[in-house]
Structure 1
C-alpha cells in the first residue's frame, strides 16, 4: 500500500472510508506499508489514515531530524565540559508573570492517580477497569515496538474507546470492561529518536526512510479516535516523551495545530502532558510550557529516564558525576529533590498540573510479605509527592491504586487538584540540579543486579514484552537503560566495588555468564541474544544513545 500527500488537507466530509486504488506520483511525498497485514489491520491502516501519516511526514519529518541533530550537539557539549544552564535568550519568557497554559481538557480535571501500562487487549481492559482517574496508554517504554504490538495496540485503543473490547486468553479466561466509569485515556507515542521500519516514507526528492515512530503512533491514534473521544466527553490527549528542548515542544505544538485543522476540530482541543525526563529539559520547563501553552495540560516527573539522562550526559565527566547503586538513587537525594520541587513550582506558576512519577515497587499476590513492603514504600513515595504539591501520580499496578489514592485524598480532600498552591519557598539553582553527590559506595550486589535486570528485561523485550516484573520491581526500557548505562560508566570511570575489586569488562563478562546460569531457560527464550545486546550497549567502547535502537533494527524490524 502506497499513499501520497498532495499538500492539500481534506475537508471534514472527505474523511470517510473509501475503496479502490489510491493514485501515486513519484514527485509527491508518500507512505508505503511494509509490514504484514494481519487480521483487522486494515481498520487502522485505512487509506485516509495513511494519507494523514504522509501529510505529517511531509511537513514535519525534516524538523524532526533537525531536533535530533540538536540533541547530539548538546550531548557533545555537555560531555566536553559545558554544563546545561537556564537559557539567557528565553529569560523574558520566564520573567513574564502573565501567561498561562490551557490547562485540563474534559476528563482531566482530577488526575490524582494514573495507571500506566502497555496497550495489548488484556492490559487495556485491566487499565479501564482499574478505578484510576487516568490511564497512560503506553506505546513507548512499556511497549516492545514489534509491528504486531504497534498496530494491535491501536486496535485495542480503538475498541476500548468505543466500548467494544473483549479478550480471551489461551486458558479460556474472558476479559471485558465492566467499570461504570473508565479512566480518561492519555496516550503516549514513541519518542522522537525511534523509527517505524514497517512503514517507509519517501519524500519529494525520492529519498526513502523509515517513518517516525512518534508520528505513526500519534497519527493513527489521533486520526481514528479524536472525534469519537470528543463525542464521549473526553478528548485526544497525549503524553509526550523524551523532550529535550523548547524547540522540540514547538514542533509538537505545530503538529497538534496542523492535525486539528486537518480533521476539522477546534484549535486547542488536543491536550499534552510533557514528561520532564531528560536533563536538558529540566532547564527549560517554563519554555516547554510556553511553546505548548495552547495545548498543554501539565508536566510529569519521569524519574527513571531522568536518571538515565544524567548518566548518559555525564558518563565521561569524571568521578564526581558517578552515581552509586541504582537502589541508592532515590527521590530524596539532592539532585532528584531539586528537580521535582522545581517541576511543581514551574507548573503551578503557569496553571499546569504537576504529575508525579512511578515508584517501581509492585505487589505480588502470592507473596504477602513482598506486597506489604511494596505498599509501604509506595505509600511513602506518594505521601511525599502529595505533600510537595503534585496534583497526581503514577502507579504501575491496579492493587496500588487505593494506596496512592489515600495519600492524595488526604491532601486534596474534595479538591480535584492543588494547582493553586504556589511553591514560592522553592529556589532551585543550576548547581542544585547538578549536585550528584550521594556518598554511597558501589556494591557487588548493585553491579550484579544491573547486569541481571538488563539481560532479563532485554530478553523479555525481544519476545514482545515492554513492561516486566523482575524481583518485585516493574522494569521497562527506562530502568533497563539505567542498568546498562551505569555499567558502562563504572567501567570507563575505573570504579571499584567495596572490597576494591575493579569493575572491568572482564568482571562484567563474568557476571553475564553467572546471570545466564541463574535464569530459568525455556524453549524459545532469547537470553543468548539479550546477553549479546547487553554486552554491546554496556561494555562496548562506544556508548549507544539508546539500547533499543540497534536491537530494534536487528530483531524487531521484519
Structure 2
C-alpha cells in the first residue's frame, strides 16, 4: 500500500526493463522505480517545481540587467564608470553583518576531506573510486555524466548496490571488487543535476520532473536511512546555483524529504559549488540559507570561468584570452578563491579546492612527470591559500593530493582565518596581462567542444582529451570563448586578423572533417550532429544557457507510459 495519500499521476516514458550496463545486478530498475519512490519524487515536484521555475526566470532577469549595463558601457565608448554589473544584495546586509551564525559542525565522515575524487556513477567507476586512497567521493549525475535514461537509472541502481556491499562484478577481462565493506570506504556525496535540467522520461500530471528532484529524490528515498545507520550520510553536492533563493529552495527540499521519511532535520549535509559569477556575490547568503545542512563551499573553477564569460559575454572589456592563459592566478579567479575561503572559515565550514583535471600520461614518462608536478603545485597553492581539501579526477592523483593536504596536520584548517579585502570590482577584474587570442586557441576550443559534444551525444559525459579529463564545464568554456571572440570581433594576436563568424565556421568545418576521418566509429560518429548544434553558437548567432540542455532532446529514448 502506498504511504502517500491521493498519489499524483506519474508516468515513466522509458524502458524500465533494459539490459544493465555491466554484469547482472541483484537490483533492477524496477526496484528503484517503485510506486512509493515515484510518489516521493512526485511530492517533491508538486511542492517545489513552481519555485524552481521562478528561480530560473530570475537568472534571465539578471542577465537582461547585465546586458543593459554592457550596452551602456558600449555606448559610452568603453567607459564603465557608474555602471554596476554586480553588487552584494542590499536586502541581506543583516545576514552579512550578523557575526553570530555558523554553519553546521562537520558530520560523520566529513571532518577530513583532504582528497575528493569525482566521477559518474557507472558501475566500474564506482568500484574504482571507492577503492581509491581518498577521503570522499563525489558521485556525479551532473557535468561528468551524460543524462541518458540508462546512465541516470543505472546510476541509482549502482549506488543502491554499493551502499549495500553488493556491487562486485566480473567482466571477461576484469573483476571489480570493493577492497572493504562500504562503511569503511570513502564517504560519498551525490551531485544531482542542476535546477535548469529536466528529466523528460518521467512526468507528473503531464509535466516533466526536475532532474534535480528526480536524482535527489530517488537516491534519498532508497538510501537515506541506510546511510544514517552506517553513519555516512546522506550527503550531497549542489551545482550551478546563482542566487541565495536557490539555496533556500534546496534547504526546503531537504526539510520536507527528512520530515516525510522520519529522519531528523539537519541529517542531510550539502556542499555548494560556487561555480557561477552571481553566486560569488552571495556566498554568505547561500551558506546562511543552508546553515543547518551546510558542509561548506567548493571552488568549481571551470564552471566559474564558464559562468563569468557567459554572464559578461556582451559587456565590453571582459574578453578573456586563449584558455591556457586563464589560470587560478588571473585576478578574478584569485579574488574568488580568497573570498570563498574567508567566508567559509569565518562561518565554520569547509572551503574545498578545485579539480585537477590531469590524467596519467602513458608511454611518456617526461610528460607524465611534468603533469604530476603541475598537479602538486596546484594543490600546494590551494593548501597555502587555506583550502581544507581538493578534487582529483583520477585515482593516481590521490596520493599527491593526500600528501599535500595531510601536511596541515589536522583534519581541516577551518580554524585558519585569512585576511581578505576582496571587493566587487576584484571579482570582476578579468584583465589578464599575458597571452591573447590566437588561431590555435580557436582550433583548440573547437576541437575540445566538438570531441566532448560528440562523446556526450553517444552517452559519455567525461572524455579524456589531450591528457585532460574534460567534462561539460570545460566544453562550455570553449563554446563561450568562441561566442565572445566573435561577438566582440577580437583581433588575433598572431595574425592580426579579426575573429569573424566565417572564420570560426571555416575552422569548424575543417575540424569536423579531420575528427570524423580519425574516428574509430567510422560513419557512425556524431561529429556532424555536434557541429549542427555548435555552429550557430560559435558564429555568435545564438547563445544557449547550457550545452547540456541544448543537446538533451537528442539523447531522449521516450517510450509509451509504463505506469
TM-score w.r.t. length of structure 2: 0.91
**Aligned residue pair count:** 527
Partner of 2:134: 132
Task: Describe the SS at the equivalent of 1:244.
Answer: coil
Kindly indicate whether the alpha-carbon contact (under 8 Å) linking 1:117 and 1:123 is maintained by their aligned counterparts in 2: yes
- Partners of 1:544 and 1:200 in 2: CA distance: 24
Q: Deviations for 1:329-372, whole angstroms, at most 9, x for unmatched residues?
A: 00011100000010000000000100001022221233323321
Kindly indicate whether the alpha-carbon contact (under 8 Å) linking 1:5 and 1:30 is maintained by their aligned counterparts in 2: no
- Partners of 1:144 and 1:197 in 2: CA distance: 14
Q: In the alignment, which of 166, 184, 189 is matched to residue 187 of structure 2? A: 184
Query: How much does 1:501 deviate?
Result: 1.6
Task: Describe the SS at the equivalent of 2:292.
Answer: coil
Partner of 1:429: 423
Q: Does 1:255 align with 2:253?
A: yes
Q: Deviations for 1:125-149, whole angstroms, at most 9, x for unmatched residues?
A: 1100001100000000000000000
Q: Does 1:417 align with 2:412?
A: yes
- Partners of 2:176 and 2:324 in 1: CA distance: 36
Q: Deviations for 1:97-138, whole angstroms, at most 9, x for unmatched residues?
A: 110011321111100000000100011011000011000000
Q: Does 1:471 align with 2:475?
A: no
Matches within 5 A, 1:534-553: 534-553=534-553
Matches within 5 A, 1:215-364: 215-318=213-316, 320-364=317-361
Unpaired segments of 5 or more residues in structure 1?
9-24, 203-207
Kindly indicate whether the alpha-carbon contact (under 8 Å) linking 1:363 and 1:370 is maintained by their aligned counterparts in 2: no
Kindly indicate whether the alpha-carbon contact (under 8 Å) linking 1:330 and 1:336 is maintained by their aligned counterparts in 2: yes
Kindly indicate whether the alpha-carbon contact (under 8 Å) linking 1:101 and 1:352 is maintained by their aligned counterparts in 2: yes
Query: How much does 1:395 deviate?
Result: 0.3
- Partners of 1:305 and 1:31 in 2: CA distance: 34
- Partners of 2:199 and 2:169 in 1: CA distance: 27
Partner of 2:455: 460
Q: Deviations for 1:281-301, whole angstroms, at most 9, x for unmatched residues?
A: 000000000000010010000
Q: In the alignment, which of 484, 492, 506 is matched to residue 502 of structure 2? A: 506
Partner of 1:58: 46
Partner of 1:175: 176
Q: Deviations for 1:404-450, whole angstroms, at most 9, x for unmatched residues?
A: 1111122x12x100001111x21100000000100221111111100
Task: Describe the SS at the equivalent of 2:375.
Answer: helix
Matches within 5 A, 1:17-28: none
Partner of 1:194: 197
Kindly indicate whether the alpha-carbon contact (under 8 Å) linking 1:324 and 1:441 is maintained by their aligned counterparts in 2: yes
TM-score w.r.t. length of structure 1: 0.92
- Partners of 2:221 and 2:2 in 1: CA distance: 16
- Partners of 1:547 and 1:446 in 2: CA distance: 20
Kindly indicate whether the alpha-carbon contact (under 8 Å) linking 2:148 and 2:555 is maintained by their aligned counterparts in 1: no
Q: Deviations for 1:513-554, whole angstroms, at most 9, x for unmatched residues?
A: 221233222243211111212213322512111112121013
Query: How much does 1:396 deviate?
Result: 0.3
Partner of 1:17: none
- Taking a change above 3 Å as real, the CA distance of residues 317 and 4 of structure 1, as seen in their structure-2 partners, is farther
- Partners of 1:525 and 1:140 in 2: CA distance: 23
Task: Describe the SS at the equivalent of 1:321.
Answer: coil
Matches within 5 A, 1:157-176: 157-169=159-171, 171-176=172-177
Partner of 1:75: 63
Q: In the alignment, which of 366, 379, 382 is matched to residue 385 of structure 1? A: 382
- Partners of 1:441 and 1:275 in 2: CA distance: 29
Kindly indicate whether the alpha-carbon contact (under 8 Å) linking 1:78 and 1:314 is maintained by their aligned counterparts in 2: yes
Kindly indicate whether the alpha-carbon contact (under 8 Å) linking 1:272 and 1:296 is maintained by their aligned counterparts in 2: yes
- Partners of 1:511 and 1:133 in 2: CA distance: 44
- Partners of 1:276 and 1:418 in 2: CA distance: 19
- Partners of 2:48 and 2:236 in 1: CA distance: 18
Partner of 2:399: 402
Name the Cα RMSD after superposition: 1.5
Kindly indicate whether the alpha-carbon contact (under 8 Å) linking 2:12 and 2:202 is maintained by their aligned counterparts in 1: yes
Partner of 1:18: none
- Partners of 1:294 and 1:452 in 2: CA distance: 44
- Partners of 2:445 and 2:164 in 1: CA distance: 42
- Partners of 2:15 and 2:485 in 1: CA distance: 42
Query: How much does 1:375 deviate?
Result: 0.6
Task: Describe the SS at the equivalent of 2:9.
Answer: strand
Partner of 1:516: 512
Q: Does 1:533 align with 2:512?
A: no
- Partners of 1:215 and 1:47 in 2: CA distance: 16
Task: Describe the SS at the equivalent of 2:251.
Answer: helix
Query: How much does 1:179 deviate?
Result: 4.1
- Taking a change above 3 Å as real, the CA distance of residues 136 and 109 of structure 1, as seen in their structure-2 partners, is same
Matches within 5 A, 1:117-156: 117-156=119-158
Partner of 2:432: 438
- Partners of 1:431 and 1:84 in 2: CA distance: 9
Query: How much does 1:401 deviate?
Result: 0.4
- Partners of 1:510 and 1:4 in 2: CA distance: 59
Q: Does 1:491 align with 2:486?
A: yes
- Partners of 1:118 and 1:416 in 2: CA distance: 26
Query: How much does 1:463 deviate?
Result: 0.9
- Partners of 2:368 and 2:120 in 1: CA distance: 22
Matches within 5 A, 1:101-116: 101-116=103-118
Kindly indicate whether the alpha-carbon contact (under 8 Å) linking 2:487 and 2:540 is maintained by their aligned counterparts in 1: no
- Partners of 1:176 and 1:368 in 2: CA distance: 30
